[in-house]
Structure 1
């Protein structure tokens, strides 16, 4: 049965659900690592690694309908770095403006991170999925050799 929602809205909702799941896993592992005495850095790295890994596989298959996607892991990592960098840019700019430890700043950064990560995933990482078969060609036209 096909959803009554347009494919982009449905895909955004799936992306959001995956984001909630990978955040729950990552945060759980961060707390477990802290409880085991692994420290902030190791616990955080373990949580993010697990969350990003779960997010990659769920987004690849469920959100974007891509079974095989050569080079997707590298593109996913690049997209994460760009999205996270934008998030940090918001936080650093806000700190420079005198907004220290503001939850609203982090919320704004997280919103920008989510938008960039979704657009990067849809148009670069998993381009050419079941809902968007011509995205591979469009990405290669804009950035030759970016997707193979």
Structure 2
């Protein structure tokens, strides 16, 4: 099994922090200023971050990869898979464990981050890595 390049993981982490901060801020704002459910607030936060995530992943994390319509389509499909997992975890934590929305979303985001990295690396942008030293 191939090892995951450290520089790539660090770039993904930086991009993820930026995107997660934006999404979580929107999630909290929607919860505070509307009567929408946590799941709806979550969907809005992730929806806003989708374009930013694509640009950060393509130009910062996986810059070696070729930009194409097919890659963009794969990105959206992989996002939907990771987001569905996020929503499932959020809903389970809210309903089964009666966890506060703000805390449950942190756990749900962690599952999304791991799943979306693996899908980006192997499905969207290919399994290669930039020629960075680790």
What's the TM-score bracket when you normalise by the shorter of the two chains?
Answer: 0.5 to 0.7
Paired residues of 1:22 and 1:50 also in contact (CA < 8 A)? no
Q: Which residue of 2 aligns with 1:64?
A: 62
Cα-Cα RMSD = 3.5
CA-to-aligned-CA distance 1:66-92 (integer Å, 9 cap, x gap): 242341222111111111211222233
Query: 1:71 and 1:39 mapped to 2: Cα distance?
Result: 37
Q: Which residue of 2 aligns with 1:52?
A: 50
After superposition, the Cα gap between the structure-2 partners of 1:62 and 1:114, relative to the gap in structure 1 and judged at 3 Å, is same
Shift of 1:124: 0.4
Gaps (5+ residues) in structure 1?
1-5, 133-148
Q: TM-score, normalised by structure 1?
A: 0.63
> 1:5-24 alignment to 2 at 5 Å?
8-24=5-21
Higher relative contact order (CA 8 A, sep 6+): 2
CA-to-aligned-CA distance 1:119-146 (integer Å, 9 cap, x gap): 00000011155539xxxxxxxxxxxxxx
**How many residues get paired?**
124
Query: 1:48 and 1:24 mapped to 2: Cα distance?
Result: 11
Shift of 1:60: 0.7
Q: TM-score, normalised by structure 2?
A: 0.68
Gaps (5+ residues) in structure 2?
none
Paired residues of 1:61 and 1:67 also in contact (CA < 8 A)? no
* Structure with the greater alpha carbon radius of gyration: 1
Query: 1:128 and 1:61 mapped to 2: Cα distance?
Result: 16
